[in-house]
Chains A and B, each alone.
Chain A
Amino acid sequence: MKKRIVIVGGGIGGTMTANNMVSKLGVEIRRNQVEVMLISNSPWHYYKPAFMYVAFDMYHKAELRRKQATLLRPEVRFVVDEVEAFEFSASRLHTRSGAHYDYDYLVVSTGCLPAPERIEGLAEAGDHFYQFEPARRLAQKLRTIERGRIFITVTFPKTPDVPHQCGIAPIETTLMVDELLRRRGVRDRVEILYTYPTVSQLLRNCLFMQKQTCEVLPQIFSDRDIHFKRGFTLERVDPDARVAHSTEGDSEDFDILMSTPPIRAVDAVINSGVSEAAEDEGWLPTNRRSLQLKGHPNVYCMGDTVDLPISKAGGSCHNQSPVIIDNIAFDLRQGATPAVYDGRVQAIAQMGLEAGMPLWYDYDQDVQPTPPTKVGGLMRKTFNRGVYWATARGLV
């Protein structure tokens, strides 16, 4: 009987997995023994990291998205529909259009959503750059601020040892704000205050979620006259007074509150009922080595929706995807799942508007910070504008 592999989510994780899956299983697909299906709720594919650049007027919408169908190899059966319910124990899922699909293997790569509404006052008074429209609103403010204070907060998920989306983004954008204001000639009239919560995954009282990077940050910030403060966990925001309050009992006023807001899994994943995450955040309980959903060996999880202590980043998907493909291909052909994810993530951090810093780490080894360079910046620009799409197509 023909086996069906369903991949849910046409973001970076799902797209590269669909393309590389049909390539890996080329023979079985030609013999009509296997079908690979991608279900996504949007006909568009967004290059999400570019939302960050939208906040700095560096990207147009047409440049940061492609039609999903044009990114897929023709062997992938692409369906635009929204999964509303996962029935993991019956190996079946239901979609908004009323259809249901049975599968032999499932890959869930539905990402995560910013949830500023989870902190009182944040949705009204705060800004962020994790989606297109909010990033555009932030751009409008950054373009026009003449004096005052830009206050930066970072919120971690309540589930222990789960990071927020793209760990380095708050630092990247803080440095970009500094440079933008210098270019605009208003930096001496605008204070930038970067704060970090008391608990960041396993660390306490740091400025970043990894120790080595945390240690070099004070110097980087001081060199640019960026003020910083540890131990500020955003509890609530008073939109009228424009004051942010922390659970540690501190208060800070602001003209712009640039936040990394709370995040959560998408509704269908939360409602599947298998998550053990705190506060209904919905992260899928994932085997950190095989990437199988705990208790459901024919389901694999990747990207932002997992409960692993690893960065919620495209660089994680890039390393998780081959493990999942290998395990499914091995299981189909030999009944074994030998491939193992070692927690590896690669990225090129955007350090200010022009410089870049390549970085990589895994479960055992933290990032070793190196000096940001223009060459690194050029690499990042090349990735943003071209290599990303080759990665989605499964070529890199």
Chain B
Amino acid sequence: MLTATKPQDAAAVLADPDTAEGLRDLAEHLTPLLQGRRLHNVVDLLSATSDFIDMADDQLTQKLAKAFEEVVWAGWSAGNALRSASATAADSEPPTLWQLSRQLNDPEVRRGLFFIIQLLGAVGRQVALEAEIPEDD
């Protein structure tokens, strides 16, 4: 077993019987990939990963991070709202129609309704964009 802490040259490492045995095992394990030239794909994938790391720059990272934050923000806000609404709804008796309409006195409920209506408006505008097909140019 390789336990020495000082650096060894490559030949000494390979001479270690445990290492040699491990390598032999690995080679055997890799044989189908090697013989079928399928290991090439794995090497190419590594090389592409390395290319991507070289190509990525600060601006790309900033954009990806921002997109990530926006997705997380949307999920987080929706999650918070769902959790609190569902806790209140689950823990109370179902309101009567009269009690329900009195909820509209709460400005935050009206804000929420307003939000939903705005959301529907924004969805409608996007759907309208999809609807018309411009002439060919």
Q: Which residues of A contact B (CB under 8 A)?
A: 20, 23, 42-44, 67, 69-70, 74, 319, 322, 344, 346, 358, 360, 370, 373-376, 379, 394-396
Contact = CB atoms under 8 A, between A and B. Distances in A.
A376 B44 contact: yes
B89 interface: no
B67 interface: yes
B137 A370 contact: no
Contact of B51 (A67, A322, A370): A370
B98 interface: no
A373 B44 contact: yes
Interface residues of B, number: 26
Nearest to B134: A43
Nearest to A80: B134
B88 interface: no
Interface in B24-62: 41, 44-45, 47-48, 51-52, 54-55, 57, 59-60, 62
A358 B51 contact: yes
Contacts of A44: 134, 137
Contacts of B130: 67, 70
A136 B29 CA distance: 50
Given A358-B52, A374-B44, A23 B125 contact: no
B41 A344 contact: no
Given A319-B59, A360-B55, 7 more contacts: A43-B134, A358-B52, A360-B54, A373-B48, A375-B41, A379-B48, A396-B64
Nearest to B59: A322
B111 to A, nearest CB: 17
Interface in B82-137: 122, 125-126, 129-130, 133-135, 137
A376 B43 CA distance: 12
A74 B122 contact: yes
Contacts of B137: 42-44
Contact of B63 (A74, A370, A395): A395
B63 A20 contact: yes
Contacts of A373: 44, 47-48
A346 B134 contact: no
B57 A358 contact: no
Nearest to B56: A346
10 contacts: A44-B137, A319-B59, A346-B55, A370-B51, A373-B47, A374-B41, A375-B44, A375-B47, A395-B63, A396-B64
B134 A67 contact: yes
Nearest to A20: B63
